[in-house]
Amino acid sequence: MLKSPIQPHPLPRSPSVAIVGATGAVGTEMIACLERRNFPLSRLKLLASPRSAGRSSKFNGQNVHIDALDAFSLRDVDIALFSAGGAISIEFAKTAPRHAVVIDNSSAFRMEQHVPLIVPEVNIDQLARHSGIIANPSCVAIIAALPLWPLHCANPIQRVVATTYQAASGGGAALMEELRASTQAFLANQKFTPRVAPHDYAFNVFSHNTRVDPESGNNEEEIKVARELPKIMNAPNLRVGITCVRVPVLRAHTIAMTVEFEHPLTQLAQNRDLDHAESIV
């Protein structure tokens, strides 16, 4: 499925960019981000499922038509940003031209050997090693890696115990809408039947809405983060224990981490009441 590692062709100065999953919560942010950064693109192609195709989105003041993704959608594209779930990434990433770069937001390729898993502030040096696909880590792995990396450079980290407070946004626009609607119903003393979340979401917390592995007791989100962090930080022996929980927050994840270092901390840190470095990001 993956192309063999090759030295990538240089991209054109004004590449043609496609967003796959353009109507989702992440796709919408991608469009806004390209506009805000004034990204030098020659053309923006917006792609979505046949259900969402036909609509349009604003980009730099212009209406851009949203097309249905098919096997030919990417043939004139230089950069394809995927955020439509792992199944779509697996099916369509290979339809991008050989010279193109797929930047994939799903978990489909993250742990593949020839796919760099990039947090720019941490391992941008790995970017050039790609063979056509660059993976974006899970959101929690990113916010964990940001403060861990400079600490790890100063004093190697051996173990991380983390707990998350994850917002509805990670579950997409539909989960955000369910949080709003169910909370509104609760406050109006009306019954609400969850459609997206596995539990009532109004004023409630629950284990991350991914499958729980019966063997380990971990949900898929926890397993992903525990695998991705060592790859991002190039620290294969890093031990990660993590508990991922959804909280009734619309946007922005929070993480609490306890970190064990190879060497003793400085006197300042050792004087603290509790004997570990602790932070809420």
**Token pair of 177, please?**
């809408």
| 51 near its own copies, judged by CB under 8 A | no
- Please give the Cα distance from 58 to 62 (Å, whole number): 5
Residues 14/121, Cβ–Cβ less than 8 Å:
no
Asked if 80 and 98 touch (Cβ cutoff 8 Å), the reply is no
Angstrom distance (rounded) from CA 118 to CA 189: 45
Q: Which residues have CB under 8 Å from 93's CB, separation 6+?
A: 80, 82, 102, 104, 108, 109, 132, 133
Q: Residue 144 belongs to what H/E stretch?
A: helix 139-154
Q: Which one of 130, 152, 208, 253 is the catalytic residue?
A: 253
What is the closest distance, in whole angstroms, from the C-beta atom of residue 33 to its own copies in the complex? 23
The residue type found at 98 is: R
Could you say which of 120, 217, 236, 264 contacts its own copies (CB under 8 A)?
Answer: 217
**Residues 250, 174 contacting (CB under 8 angstroms):** no
**Least distance CB 204 / its own copies (angstroms):** 6
Report d(CA 46, CA 63) in Å as an integer: 11
**Residue 253 catalytic?**
yes
* Under 8 Å between Cβ of 205 and 166: no
Look up tokens 């509104």; give the residue.
184
Question: Among the candidate windows 14-22, 34-42, 58-66, 182-190, which touches its own copies by CB under 8 A?
Answer: 182-190
Position of tokens 């697996």? 90
Cβ proximity to its own copies, 4 vs 215, nearer residue: 215
Give bridge partners of residue 79 from the DSSP assignment: 17, 101
Q: Least Å distance between CB 195 and its own copies?
A: 18
Phi/psi of residue 79, nearest 5 degrees: -130, 125
For residue 139, indicate whether it is catalytic. yes
Q: Check residue 274 for interaction with its own copies (CB under 8 A).
A: yes
Instruction: Select from 16-24, 33-41, 159-167, 230-238 the region that touches its own copies (CB under 8 A).
Output: 159-167
The interface with its own copies within residues 160-179 (CB under 8 A) comprises 161, 163, 165, 179
Residue of 130, 139, 208, 244 marked catalytic? 139
- Asked whether position 11 contacts its own copies by CB under 8 A, the answer is no
Q: How far is the CB of 114 from its own copies (least distance, A)?
A: 25
**Nearest to its own copies of 130, 224 (CB atom):** 224
Cβ-based neighbour number of residue 19 at 10 Å: 28
- Give the shortest CB-216-to-its own copies separation in angstroms: 4
Q: Which is nearer to its own copies, 217 or 236 (CB)?
A: 217
The residue (of 81 and 179) whose beta carbon lies closer to its own copies is 179
Considering only residues 237-266, where is the footprint of its own copies by CB under 8 A?
A: 239-243, 245, 247-250, 254, 256, 258
Enzyme catalytic residues: 139, 253
Binding site for its own copies (CB under 8 A): 161, 163, 165, 179-180, 183-184, 187, 203-205, 207, 213, 215-218, 222-223, 226, 239-243, 245, 247-250, 254, 256, 258, 271-276, 278, 280
